[in-house]
Each structure stands twice: as structure tokens, then as C-alpha cells.
Structure 1
Amino acid sequence: MQPDILFRELHQPGNPVVLFNIWDAGSAKAIEGAGAKALATGSASVAGALGYADGQELPLDLLLTVVARIRAVSTLPLSVDFEAGYADDLTRIADNAARLEALGVDGINLEDGIPPEAGIRSAAEHASRIAAIRDRTNLFVNARTDLFLQNAAERHADLMDDALGRAHIYAQAGAEGFFAPGLADPDLIARLCRECSLPVNIMASPRTPSLDRLAALGVARVSHGPFPWRAAMAGLAQAAGEEFRILA
């Protein structure tokens, strides 16, 4: 089975594919060795590992180099956090996506937020970006809305109609998944899964329900975003600190 077909089939509501996000070839090998069915980069993790801030501060060519090295060590289906497309012109966005596909990438996240957290694009504008990419590539486009990330949890219930409307518009444009990072309330997640025509992706965090609970709510994909990289860096700092204290 081709990786892109396998990647699509892994998105099963109630039996979510778990993406423990990676940031380089080394982390890709570690996560594959732990039993992953697919790999996915996280933009904050890749940027942070190379000394850049999140929000498209990382040069696209450097991202492509990282992706090429990941592809060199793993044949698992691979999704790349494409942020907002690394351009504003639709042709350039599609060209950038095609460069990722040429490296063997199977899917991308494409966010409707304006980096770095500078508001939300209109649904129509984001849909035009999705359509441009789908016209040029066979990539699995996981359409991400930043509505919940950029608003306090107290407002999330009021944003659900907007989110569902966006999901519908993004699906019509060719998106195959809908990513709602920041959404953590079980009732709202259940409603999104129930009323959204696309497989729903939730980002695991200290505030979200357990993996078993997310599966029961109908989630089809669970990402871990920047948390694995943050945990790895915290563990590194702790181990180094303990060593330095011994020598002090």
C-alpha cells in the first residue's frame, strides 16, 4: 500500500492515529522505533530545535532540509506542519507544497491563523489556499483552525458554529482533515466530531481528555504538537544540571 493511501486510512473516528510530533531525523527514528504508524513534524519543535521562533520564522529551505533528512531515515507516512504556506501568493504556496511532496511527504497541516498569532484569515481566503494546494498536489491537507488557540477557553463554546462553518468550507475546497488545536472541552470535542464531515484532529495537552476518552468522543487523529520536544529539552536540561551539580 502506498504511504499516502495508508496515511488517509489511518484517520478513523474512534480509533485515532497518534502522532507524537518529531523535529529531526533522530527523533523520527526514536518515535518509529517506539511503534509509530506515521510521523508528523511540529512547527514549534522544528523551529525551536534550530534556534528559531515559531510562526514561519524558520526559512523554508531549512525546513525542506530537515524533511529530507527525516525521509532519509524513515519510510513511514509523513505529515509536515506547513504553517500558513510560507507565502501569501497562491501560486507560491502551491509551489512550496509541491516541493514537500517531491521529498516524499504525504500530508500537511495548513493553518488559518496569521503567523505569529496575528489573527485569523477569512474562511474563504484559507479555502483558496487549500484549493491551490490540492490542484497542484495529492497531499492530505489537514486544515487547521486557530480559533481555539487564539481565544480563551471560556469563549470556545461561542466559537463552535464558526469552526464548523470553516470545516465545511475547507472540506469543499479539498481538505481531508480538520485540526482544532486548543480545543479541550469533552462536550465541544464530541460536538465537533459529530457535526464535522472531516476526520477531526485534536492536540493532546495537559488540559485535554485522555487518549481513550478522545477516541470515545470520535476523534480520528491525536497530535502532540510541541510537547514532546519541550519534554525532551526539559529532560536534557535536568540531566545536565544534575551532572553539573555533582562537579560543583
Structure 2
Amino acid sequence: MTSHDSQQTHTTHELIHDRADALLALHKAPEILTVVNVWDVASASVIADLPETKALATASHGIAAAYGYEDGERIPLELMIEAVGRIALSTSLPVSADLEGGYGDAGETVRRAIGVGVVGANIEDQMRPHIESVENVAEVMKAAEAEGVRFVLNARTDALIRRGDRPLDEAIEDAIERGRAYLDAGAACVFVPGLIDRPTAERLVEGIGMRKVSVIGVPGSLAPGDYERIGIARISYGPWPQRVALTALQESALTLYAGGFLPEGTQTLT
């Protein structure tokens, strides 16, 4: 019987270069890359089975919650790497992992993620000083280069969601400045989370570049097609898919407790 570890190593050596190239091409394509975030093998399998799915992305919040931890690097790195590795092993699609701020050593964390088959990642700047944040991106790309992988870094800046009392214009300019620097350091894309309206999306694309900006879909966001027309490269959904699933689970439980039935069309996992 082949162990999980040996299967994972085999899969990584066989496919990681092709998967990395495929993920990079998806970010450069004129069509927006829509990724519905997953948190375990079951959710990954359900999403990967859809013909519309071109790549998978994990959500740190979802994986942490599945293990009983709060988000914010509370889950041990070993568990996070194991979780994203199992997801990468379960699919032939490229997998990008949410690795938060890098767990204290972003380069080493990405090296370990590559080792389990991950070919892209989100790394947060957490509004560290500008120079430190750029160096963090450079260390990630240096580690990927040492592994021989064209790693797709979706460098995240928290300039908007952590703007505090700063005027929005100032926060947007900060996001643009940081984003440009992250691209210069080797990132493929710049992730600017928050509720991004049309004027903000247009300014980010104008300042950072066409198909170089990634956003998150939250209640109140624009439709993916609207972001695509503006020039956004990628939209993901963070913890929201897990919340949708858990809401459906809770609602189904209430129906069953009331003497009802399972929903029509419930999928059977194999």
C-alpha cells in the first residue's frame, strides 16, 4: 500500500511545473479567474468536479475553523501545510493556498507548500512597514525559484481593510504603491481585499495594472463580469463558501428535526 506522503511526493514531482504554468496563464487571461475557496478534500472535490472550475484556492479562515482554531495564524503551520497538501493531492487542478502572513518566515512556508504540491499563494502584508513587506515578497519568490517553480504569488495588501481613520483616497494610493512594489519584487498579482466598488476597482487597475489586481467577493460586491470588464484578474470568496455550506447544513438540520426530508438533488459523495 502506498502511503499518503509518497503519493504526494510523486504527484508533486510529476505535475507541479505544469500546474504552476497553468495557474499563471489563468491570471494573465482576459477572462477573470473565479475561484470558489475550499477548506478540505470534500469541499475541494465538489468544486473541482464542476467543469467551470479552472483552479482551486484555499481559505485560511475555513481551514482553521475546520480544525477548531481562529483565523490569524492560530492554527499550527504543520496542520495548515498538511491540509493544503491533501487538497492539492486530491485534484489535478492547480491549487493556490492562503498562507496568511507567512507564519514568521514566508519563504520557508512557501517552500514547504510547494513541497506538498501547492503552486500559488496569498501572503498578507498585514500593513508591515513598506520595505519589510517588499522583502517578504522577494523572499517568497527567491524560495520558489530555488525550488524551480514559477510560483504564482497573489501578494495581499491590507491597505484598505486596515485603513482605520485614514481617508479612502490615501488608503487606495497606499495600496497602489505597495502593489506596484510587490509586482516589481516578483508577485504575479496583487490582492486588495475589502468591499471594492467600481470607482475603487478602476483606480486600482489604473494604478497597479490590467489583470494584475485580485479582489474578494463579499455581499455587496460587483458581479465577476463587471470586475472583468474593469480589468480585474481574479475574484475569490474567502470564508464565504464555507459559511454558505454551514448555513445550508443548519437549515437542513432544522428541516429534519421538524420531521422533514433531505433536500432534493443532494449530492452523493464517493
**Of 134, 142, 165, the match for 1:135:** 142
Once superposed, what is the RMSD of the aligned Cα atoms?
1.9
Could you say what secondary structure the match of 1:10 adopts? Answer: helix
One-letter amino acid of the counterpart of residue 43, structure 1? S
Q: Do structure 1's residue 213 and structure 2's residue 223 form an aligned pair?
A: no
Instruction: Give the corresponding residue for 1:117.
Output: none
Looking at structure 2, the residues matched to 235 and 151 of structure 1 have their Cα atoms a distance apart, in angstroms, of: 34
Contact preservation (8 Å) 1:14, 1:219:
no
Instruction: Quote the residue 2:129 is aligned against.
Output: 122
2:178 corresponds to which residue? 166
Cα separation, 2, equivalents of 1:79 and 1:72: 13
Matched, 1:150 2:171: no
* Aligned residue number for residue 90 of structure 2: 73
CA contact (8 A) 2:85 2:118 kept: no
Deviation at 1:157, TM superposition (A): 3.0
- Given the alignment, which residue of 51, 57, 63 partners 2:74? 57
Q: Which residue of 2 aligns with 1:242?
A: 255
For the 8 Å contact 1:19–1:224, the answer to whether it is kept is yes
Aligned counterparts of 1:205 and 1:50: Cα–Cα separation in 2: 24
Deviation at 1:154, TM superposition (A): 9.0
Q: Number of aligned pairs? A: 237
Paired position in structure 2 for 1:21: 37
> Aligned partners of 1:169 and 1:156: how far apart in 2?
20
Residues of 2 paired with 1:163 and 1:213: CA distance? 21
Q: Is there any run of 5+ residues in structure 1 with no aligned partner, and where?
A: 114-119
Where does residue 113 of structure 2 map in the other structure?
Answer: 100
Residue number in structure 2 paired with 1:110: 123
Q: Could you say which residue in structure 2 is the equivalent of 1:193?
A: 205
The worse-fitting range, judged by mean Cα deviation, of 223-232 and 182-191 is: 182-191
* Structure 1 counterpart of 2:99, from 82, 92, 103: 82
Deviation at 1:56, TM superposition (A): 0.5
Correspondence for 2:241: 228
2:55 match: 38
Q: Secondary structure in 1 aligned to 2:258?
A: helix
Q: 1:93 to 1:65 in 2, by over 3 A?
A: same
Deviations 1:147-180 (A, max 9, x none): 2222469943331111111011111221111000
1:179-227 per-position Cα deviation (integer Å, ceiling 9, x unaligned): 0010411011011112213611010111211111111111110111111
CA distance 1:128–1:153, shift in 2 (3 Å): same
The offset of 1:13, in angstroms, is 6.4
Percent identical among aligned pairs is: 32
List 4+ stretches of structure 1 deviating above 3 A.
Answer: 151-155
Tell me how far apart the structure 1 counterparts of residues 246 and 169 of structure 2 sit (CA, whole Å).
Answer: 34
Is 2:9 the counterpart of 1:9?
no
Secondary structure of 2:102's aligned partner: coil
Contact 2:89 2:117 in 1 (8 A): no
Equivalents in 1 of 2:175, 2:257: separation in Å?
49
CA contact (8 A) 1:157 1:188 kept: no
